Amino acid sequence: MSKGPPTIARAIRSALLTSGPAAKVFAARYVAREWRLGRLEFAFDVPMPDRPARPERPELLAPRKMPRRSKAGSQGSRIALWHALAHIEFVAIDLALDIVGRFGAGMKRDFADDFLSVAADEAMHFALLDRKLRSLGSQYGALPAHGGLWQAAEEISHDVAARLAIVPMVLEARGLDVTPQTIEWVKSQGDCNGARILERILDDEIRHVGFGTKHFIGHCEAAGITPQNLWQCLVKKHFRGAIKPPFNDSARFAGGLSLDFYQSLAS
């Protein structure tokens, strides 16, 4: 690829094609910082890769092939929990970068502002979780990981509304539902440090859901479409799982995701 001016698309593509976990964290933070400081041109002059680069480990498995976790409360179960969370955040770095590089040309500048800040947050979350794993004598890549997270986004790489509907407004919103219970379990194990990490992640994820909802609603309003109706249609079409309670309604509402979006789909 020929050299050119530092554009946002080139910087994002470079970060997506960075495979090592530590290098990926650095690359995501670099792109977010350079954009925030006005050092990247708002130009989309290179395509995004079909898939981001991945480290050799962890081995990615289909959900049904994931090994059963160790007995609850054991060292193995704690490591498995933190490893699964670290993997989610690692993939989330690429998801946030890719949505800007893939769809940013058709969106306003604040779309890039918001989702590059998300990429930096996810990089920080991953770094915290990897450090947690190392404190337990493990590291990211030591266990197999769920291979379906990127696949869910890859299947909706043609439509910004679908990507917003599924990734921040379904997958990340589900994190708002389940994280409080995880925090309580971690506290019950006497792990105050782990609880603080999860509380920080929860606060940030509310904001991430808010960005997704804001831009989804803005996209719908520009097209003269009722946001709730389109969201429900896209979820039925593209999301293979169930929208199921219990919901953290207060956190969802804080992220702009009101009951009239998801209540009628709840199973």
- List the structure tokens of 102: 């893939």
Residues 74-133: tens digit of each pLDDT: 888 899 999 999 999 999 999 999 999 999 999 999 999 999 999 999 999 999 999 999
Give the separation between CA 240 and CA 242, rounded to whole angstroms: 7
Q: Where are the domains of the chain?
A: 1-43+67-146, 155-267
Give the separation between CA 42 and CA 9, rounded to whole angstroms: 8
- pLDDT band, very low/low/confident/very high, at 70 (cuts 50, 70, 90): low
Give the separation between CA 49 and CA 13, rounded to whole angstroms: 7
Do 123 and 24 form a contact (C-beta atoms < 8 A)? yes
Residues 131-153: tens digit of each pLDDT: 999 999 999 999 999 877 788 88
Give the separation between CA 265 and CA 7, rounded to whole angstroms: 41
Instruction: With a cut of 60, say whether residue 213 has pLDDT above it.
Output: yes
Q: Which segments of the chain are extended strands (E)?
A: 60-61, 145-146
Do 143 and 75 form a contact (C-beta atoms < 8 A)? no
User: With the C-alpha atoms ordered 183, 181, 99, 219, is the resulting torsion angle positive or negative?
Assistant: negative
> How many other CB atoms are found less than 10 A from the CB of residue 214?
17
Average pLDDT value for the chain: 94
Give the DSSP letter of residue 263: G
Mutual orientation of helices 192-223 and 75-103 as an angle, nearest 10°?
Answer: 30
Strand partners for 60: 145
pLDDT at residue number 151: 83
Site of tokens 């869910």: 152
Tally the C-alpha atoms within 13 A of residue 238's C-alpha that lie toward its C-beta: 26
DSSP string of 54-72, one letter each residue: --S-SPEE-GGGSPPPPST
Do 141 and 57 form a contact (C-beta atoms < 8 A)? yes
pLDDT at residue number 72: 60
- List the structure tokens of 27: 């690359």
Do 117 and 28 form a contact (C-beta atoms < 8 A)? no
